[in-house]
Amino acid sequence: MRILFVTSECTPWSKTGGLADVSAALPAALRGLGSDVRVLMPAYSSVPLDGARSVSVINASPHLPAARLLQAVLPNGVPAFLVDCPALYKRGGGPYQNEQGADFPDNAQRFAQLCRVAVHMASDDESAWRPQVVHCNDWQSGLVPAYFHFAPRSATPTVLTIHNLAFQGMFPASTLDLVDLPRESFSINGAEFYGQLSFLKAGLAYADAITTVSPTYAIEIQRPESGMGLHGLLAYRRSVLSGILNGIDTDTWNPAHDPHIAVPYQADTLDNKGANKRALEAHVGLPPSHKPLLAMVGRLTAQKGIDLVIDVATAIERIGGQLVVLGRGDATLEESLTALAAAHPHAIKAIIDFSEPLAHLIEAGADMFLMPSRFEPCGMNQMYSQRYGTVPVVHATGGLVDTVTEFALDTQAGTGFLFHAPDPAQFLSAIQRAIAVYENKPAWRQLQINGMRRDFSWGAGARCYIDIYQRLLSGAIPQPSIRARSDG
């Protein structure tokens, strides 16, 4: 099967979150199972073009400029196509925002261009490589199914994966002309959403199959409290909606040979993990301690629950713990976290930045990893943490509840600690349960080993996607698959 995997970011060339990791790891896993999967993404300033070769030219449309299609190879060996359009992509900042954190005003055109190139590739009879299925990801590629729906003679099936329903690609209704969508697409059954143009809703309305990144999240988003206004449409299309749990790159995230950590280790050499704790404390400027070191890495936003971390931070210090937080996000939350760290320099450290090497050292050096997300489509760090013997403390939502099980002292089963309402009291209670087990060294060691033995590779998830592709190509409606892992 020839699958075009359309994404707005891909590790290591461009990353703001888990989508980038998935966009590198899932295509590699699919290729390992025999599918010819190739990535399509914009040629941002961060994307190296050395060795890339020109494949074709996509002519300008009435409102979108011409672009070159380049072919390259990701560091993991996956072939990649790059949309080379300097007017839209060659600029400072990240994929979506400038250096000051403001959205680019032409994001609608920037990602409509990505979608337009995907459709061109699937429709070009003279192309040396033409996809049989186009796999879209999040709102940035949401117009692909809409373009196909309104294109003459189009028969290329599409899959749309929701990585986070909160980001919907909302633009004024007047944007419809700028992205070359026909007027009839702007309806309650199409791309219109409360008077605005929604890239994501367009994809959800017209895609042949819809997936999201964990079984529980697939159920949650069909309910008003988690559906972000799209729950009705998702419930209506539930016959083609599947919840497929993300995997992780088990080569990149492997404490046995991670180049970013101080001392390698695995389940049978867990004593070496202590050297990484010392290295992390030294790196961030915390005094060495035998007390638990708690950590969080991620976007500093209310969704991720960083305000809950701020609320319990001094309580963590009172019970003898240390806290390290790495990330960027909401300016007010950044300031609160920075002020907290300044007031408690011997127990709390805040690094307002993102560093991939430091993220790895934190996973290896921390004793516990905090994920108090109010909602979490899948989450990756709780899986990285278990692989590194770092015990997760998580809110029981979305992919977190699918990947972390409560540790029971009597049976010695489980891989972490969960709380069931996003409030400081419940969060702190879960942390206190974790610390109580931390003091019981044999039980803590078993808890760490339980997590390290979990299989979070992409094998099962990749096979689910292949099944969906095969059903689409055979003309069958994909059967929904909403099920959790069964390996512990």
CA atoms within 13 A on the CB side of 189: 2
Q: What pLDDT does 484 receive?
A: 37
Q: What is the mean pLDDT of residues 112-116?
A: 98
Q: What is the mean pLDDT of residues 213-222?
A: 97
Residue with tokens 């891989």: 415
Q: Which stretches within 189-330 are classed as H helix? A: 199-206, 215-220, 231-236, 273-284, 306-318
pTM of the model: 0.92
Asked if 149 and 184 count as a contact pair (C-beta separation under 8 A), the reply is no
Q: What pLDDT does 480 receive?
A: 64
Q: Token pair for residue 188? A: 């309650």
Has residue 272 got a pLDDT over 50? yes
Rounded Cα distance, 395 and 422, in Å: 7
Could you tell me how far CA 228 lies from the centroid of its own chain? 18
Q: What percent of the chain has pLDDT over 90?
A: 93
Longest dimension (CA), the chain: 68
* Number of Cβ atoms within 10 Å of the Cβ of 421: 10
Nearest to 388 by CA among 260, 270, 249, 246: 270
Q: Please report the sign of the dihedral spanned by the C-alpha atoms of residue 17, residue 19, residue 21, residue 23.
A: negative
The predicted-structure confidence for 41-74, as pLDDT tens digits, reads as follows: 999 999 999 999 999 999 999 999 999 999 999 9
Asked if 361 and 273 count as a contact pair (C-beta separation under 8 A), the reply is no
The predicted-structure confidence for 394-411, as pLDDT tens digits, reads as follows: 999 999 999 999 999 999
Q: What pLDDT does 124 receive?
A: 86
Nearest to 464 by CA among 7, 30, 24: 30
Q: How far are the Cα atoms of 1, 49, 304, 400, 418 from residue 371, in angstroms, in the given order? A: 37, 37, 7, 8, 10
Has residue 115 got a pLDDT over 50? yes
Q: What pLDDT does 152 receive?
A: 76
| Dihedral pair phi/psi, residue 342, rounded to 5° | -65, -35
Q: What pLDDT does 481 receive?
A: 58
334 DSSP 8-state letter: H
Sketch out the chain's domains with CATH numbers: 2-247+458-474 (3.40.50.2000), 267-452 (3.40.50.2000)
Rounded Cα distance, 294 and 288, in Å: 13
Mean pLDDT, the chain, whole residue set? 95
